């Protein structure tokens, strides 16, 4: 009986040791240039292949910084032109955001970066 209790306790402790909480995150930063200038307004998405939700960071004046999950990520970059659409009689319309970065940098991106706990995780991109 003692052997069974000891074995059960060992199994439970092993299980609990494997449940270490959320995956580790690390600081990332970098610059995004578009046609030789800092991207004024956009987003950079780090999509981890572990099935977790993609992590999106804001790009302001060509710079981004934030925390993302440690591991290998597909990177997607979006740049936005903000405009307005006239309101219709039904009240529809308002501001719009249109991505102008080529699809090879977002929907069709093959860019990948490895985020490590030790860093540095500084990733610069030059979109021409």
- Is 12 inside a domain boundary? no
Predicted TM-score of the model (pTM)? 0.75
Partners of residue 73 on adjacent β-strands: 48, 113
- The residue range of the domain holding 120 is 23-127
Length of the chain: 128
- Tell me what pLDDT residue 2 has: 64
CATH of the domain at 95: 2.60.40.1120
- The number of folded domains in the chain is 1
Looking at residue 86, what is its pLDDT? 72
| pLDDT tens digit sequence for 24-39 | 999 999 999 999 999 9
Compute the distance between CA of residue 2 and CA of residue 71 in angstroms, rounded to an integer: 42
Does some domain include residue 94? yes
The per-residue pLDDT for range 43-80, each reduced to its tens digit, is 999 998 777 889 999 999 999 999 999 999 999 999 99
Sheet strands (E) in 6-111: 25-34, 37-38, 41-48, 55-60, 63-69, 71-85, 94-99
Is 66 a member of any domain?
yes
């Amino acid at each position: 009986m003692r052997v069974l209790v000891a074995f059960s306790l060992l199994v439970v402790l092993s299980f609990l040791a494997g449940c270490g909480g959320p995956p580790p995150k690390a600081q990332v930063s970098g610059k995004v240039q578009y046609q030789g200038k800092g991207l004024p307004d956009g987003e950079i998405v780090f999509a981890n292949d572990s099935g977790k939700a993609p992590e999106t960071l804001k790009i302001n004046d060509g710079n981004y910084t934030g925390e993302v999950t440690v591991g290998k990520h597909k990177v997607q970059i979006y740049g936005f032109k903000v405009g307005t659409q006239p309101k219709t009689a039904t009240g529809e319309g308002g501001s719009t955001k249109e991505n102008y970065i080529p699809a090879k940098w977002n929907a069709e991106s093959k860019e990948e970066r490895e985020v490590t706990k030790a860093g540095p995780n500084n990733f610069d991109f030059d979109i021409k």
